[in-house]
Amino acid sequence: MKIPPVTPPITRARDDDQKLARKQTLMDAGWHLFVKTGKMPSVSQVVHAAGLAKGTFYIYFKTKEDLFLELMSNALGEFFQELNDSLSNKDLELKNYVDLFVRKFHREHMVIKLGAFLAGVLEEKREEESVRNFRVTLVQQLQNAAHHLHERFPAIEEKKAVRLLLRSYAILLGVAQLIPSTPILPSRIEEEPGLEALALDFAEESKAILRALLASTVLFPAET
């Protein structure tokens, strides 16, 4: 996902366009801080970076976790949109789908970084409306991508495609967290005695696992 420039703060939001711009300023500030530190920023840090009063934050978000969920939703939206655009290519063959998925995921470093925090946020705020809204949006994104996947490859039933996409995302996120050397955290783990077993390539390991998952979905659809 591309890192947007921080939108200059507006002195006072007077209409809907200005309110949307102010919300975007807060989101851009939160995004930049997350990219810079790899951690979820505090409300104070976000408003300081945005050049806004702390009270302004709570007009648009109840908590920093709400801001995080919106950033995560946007990042996933961009990922699925790129995937959908690629699936519209009539020359794309099923055997190349895994390479495409991993390549898109590999490029979206922030999906990996944000995803590492997602489970904790969803658990902590599970009763909040923002969590439900995030999940509703995620389901819509998955269903839309599944529709594109089924249209391109009819052998994958649309209902199964939703599960395939969700499992693929979960698997790649897990691989990224287990392998020390990832797109966002390069490492020379193979040089550390006793840790050679972790010296794996993120892309290659992800492709191997997803090929097995795809094969089971296509060859044994009743069991997936």
> Using one digit for the tens of pLDDT, what is the confidence trace for 77-118?
999 999 999 999 989 998 899 999 998 887 776 788 788 888
The pLDDT assigned to 10 comes to: 46
| Bridge partners, 182 (sequence order) | 185
**22 and 14 Cβ atoms separated by less than 8 Å:** no
Nearest-angstrom CA–CA distance, 43 and 217 = 43
The candidate with the shortest Cα–Cα distance to 113, out of 79, 161, 164, is 79
Phi-psi label, residue 194: left if phi above 0, alpha if psi -120 to 50, beta otherwise: left
The answer on pLDDT for 2 being more than 70 is no
Confidence of residue 46 (pLDDT cuts 50, 70, 90): very high
What superfamily in CATH does domain 63-223 come from?
Tetracycline Repressor, domain 2 (1.10.357.10)
6: alpha, beta or left? (left if phi > 0; alpha if psi -120 to 50)? beta
Q: What are the structure tokens assigned to 56, written together?
A: 């302004």
Amino acid at 111: V
**Alpha-carbon span 52 to 11, nearest angstrom:** 9
Q: Which residue has the higher pLDDT, 197 or 154?
A: 154
What would be the CATH architecture of the domain defined by 1-61? Orthogonal Bundle (1.10)
* Spatial contact of 153 and 183, defined as CB atoms under 8 Å apart: no
Least Cα distance to 196 among 212, 180, 207 occurs for: 180
- Predicted confidence band of residue 187 (pLDDT cuts 50, 70, 90): low
Task: Give the pTM.
Answer: 0.80
Where are the domains positioned within the chain? 1-61, 63-223
Burial of residue 90 (number of CB atoms within 10 Å: 0-12, 13-18, 19+): exposed
Q: What does the alpha-carbon distance between residue 79 and residue 143 come to, in Å, rounded to a whole number? A: 14
